[in-house]
């Protein structure tokens, strides 16, 4: 079987606009979005009025700094403020295609437009080509993570195996029997599948046919990437996005940062003041996707990165996000899921025996591991606690019961000890 060329080509003309065309494009998209959102989203109108921001006076890109930042965490509260997700939506819920729910809880609307989540150009850049059979291993239930990747694959004339959260034996069997050529999922899960295959004597290069992998949802090291690329003889590229807005950036073959998607205007801002920072400076990723249905204007993602405008060998002219260097606050993204301290606190409050708690996150071998440390005397409800925790937080931690006074006096609710390289 001859292999497809997965290294060349560009999906959309928008990826190669020159600098002045790009500025013009952003300006037109933003003007249009702001006018529309102000008119049809109750929440946007309220916020713009409060900040005395006049949409008619938006003349150049830098004027965007006069719009207050919208923190991702505010969505939890705002969405509960009334119909149309608290006025954030410009349509009724029944006019949408789907409504998902992410931890928080935050609802993620999807409307009926083509390529709503905007991943098609990113999948092409990652190396997916017509005729691929892609196995999607993200969960299909409630969260949008799996379904949002079906559309780009359809647009690129690929087929999908929606294997979701099947166990690794089933995943491996599908991969082998159907000669799957593409993997979509978390990088650590692909590593898990590789380990499983080696255990049962499946040769990753001879018995499997995976040539391309699109990964997202968790940070991984270059060492892990090259290990997986060598093991399977495949190309592995990552995307960056959120369940609120969809695609924000994606890697090309040359893997030197994440090209910013053409569907969004991205700023790097000071996490406290919201003031845009200079190219190269590390700050919070603030995104405005050109989405009239759910106009989250200047959404602060909580992720930290920087902008790189140096030319890329692939020919794409879009600026790039350097690596995602961390999280702004104590919220941690573990195994692709956001874990909020207040949700953990909610669970802990049900156990009066627990005096104090802390979550420790590590990544031995590049795979996230979460340990729940609790201080308690004669704690007997371990199984019950793990069950409740898993039900609310969607992740299963390791549990360590400590005698009171073991944890230091000043602790962060989530201590992120993960190392990248």
Question: Which residues, in sequence order, are CB contacts of 199 under 8 Å at separation 6+?
Answer: none
Rounded Cα distance, 64 and 128, in Å: 35
x/- binding map, residues 273-312, to Zn ion, per CB under 5 A? ---------------------------------------x
Q: What does each C-alpha distance from 389 to 230, 267, 358, 370, 399 come to in angstroms?
A: 37, 35, 13, 12, 11
CB 40, CB 90: distance < 8 Å: yes
Q: Rounded to the nearest whole angstrom, what is the least distance from the CB of residue 318 to Zn ion in the complex?
A: 8
Q: Rounded to the nearest whole angstrom, what is the least distance from the CB of residue 254 to Zn ion in the complex?
A: 5
Rounded Cα distance, 37 and 42, in Å: 8
Residues near Zn ion (CB under 5 A), total? 5
Tokens of 382: 């371990």
Q: Rounded to the nearest whole angstrom, what is the least distance from the CB of residue 125 to Zn ion in the complex?
A: 7
Query: Smaller CB distance to Zn ion: residue 254 or 392?
Result: 254
Query: Smaller CB distance to Zn ion: residue 296 or 312?
Result: 312
Query: Smaller CB distance to Zn ion: residue 237 or 298?
Result: 237
Q: Rounded to the nearest whole angstrom, what is the least distance from the CB of residue 253 to Zn ion in the complex?
A: 7
Q: Rounded to the nearest whole angstrom, what is the least distance from the CB of residue 251 to Zn ion in the complex?
A: 8
What SS3 state is found at 57?
helix
Region binding Zn ion by CB under 5 A among candidate stretches 21-29, 112-120, 201-209, 250-258: 250-258
Rounded Cα distance, 153 and 172, in Å: 21
Binding residue (CB under 5 A) for Zn ion from 85, 193, 215, 252: 252
x/- binding map, residues 183-222, to Zn ion, per CB under 5 A? ----------------------------------------
Query: Smaller CB distance to Zn ion: residue 108 or 251?
Result: 251
Q: Rounded to the nearest whole angstrom, what is the least distance from the CB of residue 238 to Zn ion in the complex?
A: 13
Q: What does each C-alpha distance from 41 to 88, 89, 99, 293 come to in angstroms?
A: 6, 6, 18, 9
Q: Rounded to the nearest whole angstrom, what is the least distance from the CB of residue 116 to Zn ion in the complex?
A: 24
Report the side by side order of strands in the sheet with 320-321.
159-161, 133-136, 182-185, 212-215, 235-242, 246-250, 258-260, 320-321, 307-308
Q: Rounded to the nearest whole angstrom, what is the least distance from the CB of residue 123 to Zn ion in the complex?
A: 15
Q: Rounded to the nearest whole angstrom, what is the least distance from the CB of residue 129 to Zn ion in the complex?
A: 17
Interaction of residue 237 with Zn ion, rule CB under 5 A: no
Question: Dihedral angle at the C-alpha atoms of 65, 67, 68, 74, nearest 10 degrees?
Answer: -130
Region binding Zn ion by CB under 5 A among candidate stretches 200-208, 217-225, 254-262, 292-300: 254-262
Interaction of residue 316 with Zn ion, rule CB under 5 A: yes
Q: Rounded to the nearest whole angstrom, what is the least distance from the CB of residue 11 to Zn ion in the complex?
A: 12
Region binding Zn ion by CB under 5 A among candidate stretches 134-142, 184-192, 248-256, 299-307: 248-256
Interaction of residue 225 with Zn ion, rule CB under 5 A: no
Rounded Cα distance, 211 and 164, in Å: 19
Region binding Zn ion by CB under 5 A among candidate stretches 35-43, 112-120, 210-218, 247-255: 247-255
Phi-psi domain of 222 (left: phi exceeds 0; alpha: psi -120 through 50; beta: other): alpha
Exposed, middle or buried: residue 255 (CB in 10 Å: 0-12, 13-18, 19+)? Answer: middle
SS (HEC) of 297-353:
CCEEEEEEECEECCCCCCCCCCCEECCCCEECCCCEEECCEEECHHHHHHHHCCCCC
Question: Dihedral angle at the C-alpha atoms of 361, 365, 366, 372, nearest 10 degrees?
Answer: -20
Binding residue (CB under 5 A) for Zn ion from 307, 314, 324, 385: 314
Query: Smaller CB distance to Zn ion: residue 37 or 312?
Result: 312
Query: Smaller CB distance to Zn ion: residue 152 or 366?
Result: 152
Region binding Zn ion by CB under 5 A among candidate stretches 63-71, 246-254, 321-329, 375-383: 246-254
Query: Smaller CB distance to Zn ion: residue 250 or 340?
Result: 250
Angle, alpha carbons 305-21-302 (nearest 5°): 20
The residues of the shown chain that bind Zn ion, judged by CB under 5 A, are: 252, 254, 312, 314, 316
């Amino acid at each position: 079987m001859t292999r497809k060329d997965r290294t060349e080509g560009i999906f959309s003309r928008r990826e190669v606009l020159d600098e002045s065309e790009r500025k013009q494009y952003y300006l037109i998209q933003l003007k249009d979005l702001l006018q529309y959102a102000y008119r049809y989203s109750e929440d946007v109108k309220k916020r713009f009025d409060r900040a005395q921001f006049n949409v008619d006076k938006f003349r150049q890109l830098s004027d965007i700094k006069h719009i207050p930042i919208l923190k991702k965490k505010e969505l939890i509260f705002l969405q509960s403020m009334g119909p149309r997700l608290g006025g954030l939506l410009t349509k009724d819920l029944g006019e949408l295609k789907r409504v998902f729910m992410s931890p928080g809880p935050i609802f993620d609307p999807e409307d009926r437009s083509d390529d709503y989540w905007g991943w098609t150009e990113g999948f092409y850049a990652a190396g997916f080509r017509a005729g691929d059979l892609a196995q999607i291993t993200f969960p299909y239930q409630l969260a949008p993570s799996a379904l949002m990747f079906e559309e780009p694959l359809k647009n690129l004339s690929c087929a999908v195996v929606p294997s979701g959260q099947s166990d690794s034996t089933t995943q491996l069997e599908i991969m082998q029997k159907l000669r799957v050529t593409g993997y979509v999922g978390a990088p650590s899960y692909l590593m898990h599948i590789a380990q499983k295959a080696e255990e049962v004597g499946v040769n990753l290069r001879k018995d499997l046919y995976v040539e391309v992998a699109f990964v997202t949802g968790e940070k991984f090291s270059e060492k892990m990437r090259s290990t997986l690329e060598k093991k399977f003889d495949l190309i592995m590229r990552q995307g960056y996005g959120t369940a609120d807005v969809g695609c924000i950036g994606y890697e090309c073959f040359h893997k030197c940062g994440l090209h910013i998607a053409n569907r969004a205007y991205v700023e790097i801002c000071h996490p406290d003041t919201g003031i845009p920072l200079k190219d190269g400076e590390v700050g919070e990723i603030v995104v405005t996707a050109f989405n009239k249905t759910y106009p989250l204007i200047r959404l602060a993602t909580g992720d930290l990165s920087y902008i790189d405008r140096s030319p890329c060998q692939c020919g794409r002219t879009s600026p790039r996000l350097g690596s995602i260097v961390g999280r702004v606050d104590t919220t941690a993204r573990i195994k692709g899921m956001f874990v909020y301290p207040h949700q953990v606190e909610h669970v802990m409050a049900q156990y009066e025996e627990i005096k104090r708690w802390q979550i420790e996150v590590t990544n031995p071998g590049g795979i996230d591991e979460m340990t729940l440390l609790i201080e308690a005397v004669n704690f007997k409800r371990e199984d019950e606690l793990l069950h409740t925790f898993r039900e609310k937080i969607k992740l299963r931690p390791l549990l360590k019961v400590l005698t009171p006074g073991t944890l230091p006096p000043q602790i962060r609710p989530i201590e992120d000890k993960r190392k990248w390289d």
